[in-house]
Amino acid sequence: MSGDDAGEKYGDTGAEPGTDTVAQQGVAAAGQRLRSEREARGLSLTEVSTQLHLDPRLVTALEAGEDNRLPGATYITGYVRAYARLLKLDEDELAAMAGSSVAPRSELLPENVDLGRPRRGVGLAAWLVVAVLLVTAGGAGWWWFQSRPAGVVLSPAATRDALSVTDTPAAPAVMAPETTEAAAPATPGSIPGPRAATDEASSPAPPPEATPVPSSRIPLELRFTDDSWLEVTDASGAVLAYAMMEAGSQVELQGIPPFEVLLGYAPGVAITYNGQPFDSAPFIRGDVARLRIGDATP
């Protein structure tokens, strides 16, 4: 499909000519093929969006090749792969078709950006303002880095944090009951004598054993051999992960079990819970798996 035909069918996206137009043509070609196959299989946008766990508006933008409405090159490639896999198409071919023309948004510079020497007449005050802005932005970035949630680690070489164990203080020893005096029974005709006292001290009961209480935060590790959508929520309701994961990536989480896990392509994910492998195969339905990990009643 040519760029003009795509524009007439899906509407003008308002993109400027140049890199964006080329990107839209590549994404539009892949999106048109996905749309044609979907319609040939009799699937609706709602059905596809539900199975891919994507917003219907994203699927519509992907089919229309509207690059300016999609999040970025990495996500576009992941969406195209997942969509192609759902329709049993060649995901590598379609991902290459879409990704070859999508430049990372951070690499696109406006045409009016001047990277040369500053023009004459720019005063010292202007440069001071720029310096203050840079320092402020750096401080904000450092603050975000320090205050971000510590549960998600998206580095393949990340190491698992050791779990802390708290000791329960030992219960106090049981005090022995007081010694009581038992009077010896008097025998008829016998001479009264002093009462004999017997000590009936019971032996102290052994204190209950102190059992270590494990930390409430348990590690959960997921390794991806294929692209897959991932959602993880722990028992406190905290969202630990919500992202499209690429093949070869790894995520290590810590939270309060049980974990609610959603995998868009479960066959491509290996799970380790609290240091032990977790088998997700019984929960897979059409490549998608909804899991409850860390509970006796899944």
Long-range contacts of residues 189-196, Cβ cutoff 8 Å, at least 24 apart: none
Could you give the CA distance from residue 93 to residue 99 in angstroms, rounded to a whole number?
Answer: 10
Could you tell me the CATH number of the domain that includes residue 94? 1.10.260.40
Residues β-bridged to residue 119: none
User: Minimum mean pLDDT among 89-93, 104-108, 232-236: which range?
Assistant: 104-108
Checking if the pLDDT of 198 tops 60, the result is: no
Average pLDDT over residues 189-193: 44
Answer yes or no: is 145 within a domain.
Answer: no
Both tokens of residue 270?
Answer: 């290996």
Report residue 258's pLDDT band, with 50, 70 and 90 as the boundaries.
Answer: very high
Answer yes or no: is 150 within a domain.
Answer: no
pLDDT of residue 273: 96
| Model pLDDT for residues 66-79, shown as the tens digit of each residue | 867 777 777 888 88
Handedness of CA 146, 147, 153, 159 (dihedral sign): positive
Domain that holds residue 73: 3-106
DSSP track, 92-161: HHHHHHHHTT---GGG---TT---SSPPTT--HHHHHHHHHHHHHHHHHHHHHHHHS-TT-B--TT--PP
Average pLDDT over residues 239-267: 95
Domain stop point among 106, 138, 156 = 106
> How many domains are there within the chain?
2
Question: What pTM was computed for the model?
Answer: 0.35
Question: For residue 45, is it left (φ>0), alpha (ψ between -120 and 50) or beta?
Answer: alpha
Closest CA to 66 of 107, 4, 104, 20: 20
Average pLDDT over residues 210-235: 83
- Contacts for 155 with CB less than 8 Å, ≥ 6 apart: 250
| Model pLDDT for residues 45-59, shown as the tens digit of each residue | 899 989 888 888 888
Answer yes or no: is 159 within a domain.
Answer: no
Domain stop point among 51, 84, 106 = 106
